[in-house]
């Protein structure tokens, strides 16, 4: 059974990704900084293991992965899903909030990728890494310049990771979701959401399940020739 590490499984999308992978007979190790009803549901599956971990602790990621490795874990996949929102116009940018955003949305995914790839190399595994980006990195939205910048950095990192490790069969891709009905978008009013949805070809919110299925496809060997790509799942945002 192949093992995949998924971050942010206490959130709507992370939960959907973990649930989808479990249904496809993967073993899932989930990370989140809190335990909620989603985690209780996932833990009812014997193939799910949960670890409470706050990704702001970037300097502790090495020990986290090495502890898993010491217990015999062999990782076949990584899904960097966890992220923190930052909704503010650039003239109100706050350095402390920027540091927090980049630590969670960029630096921690980079360090997780580093140590998961080392685990794959140690165990001679041709694995797959999937980063969750955002349509805001491609289409401008008022108030999302700082958040979008973290996702743009993640996409650049993913493409270059794919180039570095593709020759030995380790792949790296980004899934780029459109706006979904999640806790992260919960602060938006109905009018704000409708304006966003009108910019899509399908005029509605992006399906969380569709994003989760795309992640599962990229983790699987069915996508063995796909690497260094940004796969948009955004209802045709224009």
25 against 185, higher pLDDT: 25
φ, ψ of residue 26 to 5 degrees: the values are: -90, 155
Q: What is the pLDDT of residue 105?
A: 98
The 10s digit of each residue's pLDDT in 201-213 is 998 899 999 999 9
pLDDT value at 186 more than 70: no
CB within 8 Å of 92: residues ≥ 6 apart: none
Q: What is the pLDDT of residue 169?
A: 98
**C-beta separation of 86 from 146 below 8 A:** yes
Report the CATH fold assignment for 3-233: Rossmann fold (3.40.50)
Query: Domain ranges in the chain?
Result: 3-233
The whole-angstrom separation of Cα 232 and Cα 211 is: 9
């Amino acid at each position: 059974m192949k093992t995949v590490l998924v971050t942010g499984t206490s959130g709507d999308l992370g939960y959907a990704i973990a649930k989808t992978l479990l249904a496809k007979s993967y073993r899932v190790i989930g990370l989140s900084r809190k335990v909620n009803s989603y985690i209780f549901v996932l833990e009812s599956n014997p193939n799910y293991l949960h670890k409470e971990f706050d990704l702001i602790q970037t300097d502790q990621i090495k020990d986290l992965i090495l502890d898993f490795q010491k217990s015999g874990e062999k990782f076949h996949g990584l899904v960097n899903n966890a992220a923190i929102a930052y909704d503010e116009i650039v003239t109100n940018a706050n350095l402390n909030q920027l540091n927090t955003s980049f630590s969670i949305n960029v630096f921690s995914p980079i360090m997780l990728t580093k140590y998961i790839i080392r685990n794959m190399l140690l165990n001679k595994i041709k694995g797959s890494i999937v980063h969750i980006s955002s349509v805001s990195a491609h289409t401008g939205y008022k108030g999302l310049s700082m958040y979008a910048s973290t996702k743009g950095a993640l996409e650049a990192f993913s493409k270059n990771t794919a180039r570095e490790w593709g020759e030995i069969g380790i792949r790296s891709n980004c899934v780029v979701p459109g706006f979904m009905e999640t806790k992260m978008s919960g602060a938006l009013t109905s009018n704000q959401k409708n304006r966003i949805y009108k910019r899509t070809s399908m005029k509605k919110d992006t399906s969380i399940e569709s994003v989760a299925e795309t992640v599962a496809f990229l983790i699987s060997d069915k996508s063995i020739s796909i690497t260094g790509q940004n796969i948009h799942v955004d209802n045709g945002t224009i």
